[in-house]
Amino acid sequence: MAKIVESSYPVLTDFMRKCLFQDSAPSFQEAIRQWSQCGPQAVQNVISELERVMAEHPEEELAEYLWKHCEYISGETASSTVSYILSELRKLARLDL
């Protein structure tokens, strides 16, 4: 496995930069809600890339990526933060099964 390369996850990187970095919103949940305003396809694209990054990279690489791109941390591990983001996006997109 290799380090997470931004160009391999362009939608996810854009999501992180616009919504989860540099205190773009007063809370983690609000930052995620902001992205959902881009529409259902944008939300589904982020969900797909989040699922792919979790499947393709170990905890250490997720942690490094989040440290670099996300000022909001939820949970004790990088994977728990990514899982939380996924959960919130799925709820907002009404995809939470």
Interval 73-94: pLDDT, tens: 666 788 888 898 888 888 887 7
Give the burial class of 39: count Cβ atoms within 10 A of its Cβ; 0-12 exposed, 13-18 middle, 19 or more buried. exposed
Residue 9, pLDDT score? 92
Closest of 14, 79, 81 to residue 42, by C-alpha: 14
Output the pTM of the full model: 0.81
Check: CB of residue 63 under 8 Å from CB of residue 7: no
pLDDT of 22 reads 57
- Does the structure show a pLDDT above 60 at 97? no
Token couple for 34 = 């902001």
Q: For residue range 53-77, what is the model confidence (pLDDT) as tens digits?
A: 999 999 999 988 888 877 766 667 8
Per-residue model confidence as pLDDT tens digits over 9-47? 999 888 887 776 655 667 777 777 777 788 888 889 999
Please give the full DSSP string across 37-52, using - where no structure is assigned.
Answer: TT-HHHHHHHHHHHHH
Confidence of residue 2 (pLDDT cuts 50, 70, 90): low
